[in-house]
Amino acid sequence: MIIESRLKKVLKAGHFAVTAECGPPKGADPDVIRNKGNLLKGYVDSINVTDNQTGVVRLSSLAACAILREQGLDAVLQMVTRDRNRIALQSDVLGASALGIRNILCLSGDHQSLGNQEEAKGVFDVDSMQLLQIVRQMRDKGLILGGDQLSSTPELFIGAVENPFGDPQSYRVKRLAKKIKAGAEFIQTQCVYNLPRFKEFMGQVADAGLTERVFLLGGVTPLKSARMAEYMKNNVAGMDVPDGIIERMKGTAAKEQRQEGIRIAVETIQALREIKGVSGVHIMAIEWEEAVPEIVEKAGLMPRPEV
């Protein structure tokens, strides 16, 4: 059976793509993944599985992606360089392809000191830029680092992340250009709450001639509460939550705040669709995957295209 990346086909066909994030459980139960897969099936083109995000031990991303694959779903394997050296990374890239996983997202990962294994040794043998280059070379040239030839090549659609709101701001577009140069074919961004800043960033991306060279999916995280909005603003690194959003959540009755969060997410998606160079949306509903179908429907992104 030939397995192809649905995400790649949707983007190449010019459709506005929808991906969603699925966090694996802090346990070994495969049904948690299957249930999340069933919930998202038909509403998204591809499902990202996070790789021990925030440095907290969870069921492996590779295993979770394989479970989603068994359900006939297209998965994006998130792979961080924090926990594996180049031997393990390259080995897992081959393993992922063999299991029918067709998308990979290369990241450096949250620092180990932020999670529940503070005393762990951070590997960081390579960085996300170098991982992109390694995977690209494995796929396109059949070579691993050092130049040895592979007996067969992995089939992967290669992605990276970008945070338009991080510092130094003057370097963000250059950094994106560098990721594309390293091999990224698609980009998923940090959560967008500050639309004016995001538009400014996308303008710079277009001016740099990058919009034609990469598919960029804007990140959207629905807020569950005013407290979450404030937490994201103050405690999550690289997050830009404008006061207007916080005021809007605070001005909503507590039991209505989830709905307000969904409304903001829908409005954000609608705004993202109008920005030149935005090819899709990546919905990161943190431990709230149930919200995704409603957001996708309300944003007018149903039905998902046949490709």
Query: Given the rule CB under 8 A, which residues bind other proteins?
Result: 82, 86, 108-111, 113-114, 122, 124-130, 133-134, 145, 161-163, 166-168, 170-171, 174-175, 177-178, 181-182, 190, 237-238
Smallest gap from Cβ 160 to other proteins, in A, equals: 11
Q: Which is nearer to other proteins, 236 or 271 (CB)?
A: 236
Q: Is the Cβ of residue 181 or residue 276 nearer to other proteins in the bound state?
A: 181
Secondary structure of the chain as H, E, C letters: CCCCCHHHHHHHCCCCEEEEEECCCCCCCHHHHHHHHHHHCCCCCEEEECCCHHHCCCCCHHHHHHHHHHCCCCEEEEEECCCCCHHHHHHHHHHHHHCCCCEEEEECCCCHHHCCCCCCCCCCCCCHHHHHHHHHHHHHHCECCCCCECCCCCCCEEEEEECCCCCCHHHHHHHHHHHHHHCCCEEEEEECCCHHHHHHHHHHHHHCCCCCCCEEEEEECCCCCHHHHHHHHHHCCCCCCCHHHHHHHHCCCHHHHHHHHHHHHHHHHHHHHCCCCEEEEEECCCCCCCHHHHHHHHCCCCCCCCC
| Residue with Cβ nearer other proteins (166 or 305) | 166
CB of 108 to other proteins, least distance (A): 5
* Shortest CB 163 distance to other proteins, Å: 3
Task: Please identify, using beta-carbon distances, which residue of 178 and 258 lies nearer to other proteins.
Answer: 178
Closer to other proteins by Cβ: residue 37 or 219:
219
Smallest gap, in angstroms, from Cβ of residue 125 to other proteins? 7
Q: Which is nearer to other proteins, 100 or 122 (CB)?
A: 122
Residue 161 Cβ vs other proteins, minimum distance, rounded to whole Å: 7
Q: Write down the least CB distance from residue 269 to other proteins, Å.
A: 21
